[in-house]
């Protein structure tokens, strides 16, 4: 009797797990695809990331999730002066961990080859209470790549 109850319980758990798995996969909303028109307006990007200061040039995309109007995604490539890039290294102490950014396809040609310096302090420098950011700094090219998710 004890073995039969254990088998019945295992079968019930497997059925419930399978049912939950199928339901959650079907219910998961799909994010809208990123736009293909690259923005180059510096003031617009500074409004999103005030910590970038006064960059030399920017290329960026921003889009939202249709199921959650409050969710916003931003990929940006920010050209800095060499002095600013050096100051970021001094301030945030990022290291070469072998990580590289994966931006939206339309923006990928703007990303330098790396290597990229990364780290929690660098990420935090461009994050806020409503925005989680991954930051990648190519010091040789004086270029910062940002990938952010914001909840407005």
In a domain, 37, yes or no: no
| Residues 144, 75 within the same domain | yes
Q: Which residues of 3-28 are buried (b: 16+ CB within 10 A; e: fewer)?
A: eeeeeeeeeeeeeeeeeeeeeeeeee
Q: How far apart are CA 94 and CA 122, in angstroms?
A: 6
| Residues 64, 24 within the same domain | no
| Residues 52, 87 within the same domain | yes
Structure tokens at 43: 């003031």
| Residues 19, 57 within the same domain | no
Domain assignment of residue 98, given as a range: 42-151
In a domain, 124, yes or no: yes
Sheet containing 131-138, strands listed edge to edge, beginning at the edge strand earlier in sequence: 57-65, 68-79, 143-151, 131-138, 117-118, 95-96
Per-residue pLDDT reduced to its tens digit, 90-136: 999 999 999 999 999 999 999 999 999 999 999 999 999 989 999 99
Per-residue pLDDT reduced to its tens digit, 52-80: 989 999 999 999 865 666 888 999 999 99
| Residues 21, 46 within the same domain | no
In a domain, 65, yes or no: yes
| Residues 76, 117 within the same domain | yes
Tell me the pTM.
0.76
């Amino acid at each position: 009797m004890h073995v039969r109850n254990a088998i019945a319980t295992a079968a019930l758990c497997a059925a419930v797990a399978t049912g939950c798995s199928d339901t959650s996969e079907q219910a998961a909303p799909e994010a809208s695809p990123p736009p293909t028109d690259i923005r180059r307006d510096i003031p617009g990007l500074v409004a999103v990331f005030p910590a970038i200061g006064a960059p030399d040039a920017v290329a960026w995309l921003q889009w939202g999730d249709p199921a959650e109007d409050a969710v916003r995604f931003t990929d940006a490539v920010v050209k800095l002066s060499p002095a600013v890039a050096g100051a970021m290294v001094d301030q945030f102490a990022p290291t070469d961990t072998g990580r590289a950014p994966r931006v939206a396809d339309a923006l990928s040609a703007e990303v330098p080859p790396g290597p990229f310096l990364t780290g929690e302090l660098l990420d935090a420098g461009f994050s806020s209470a409503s925005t989680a950011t991954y930051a990648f700094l190519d010091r040789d090219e004086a270029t910062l790549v940002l990938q952010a998710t914001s909840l407005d």
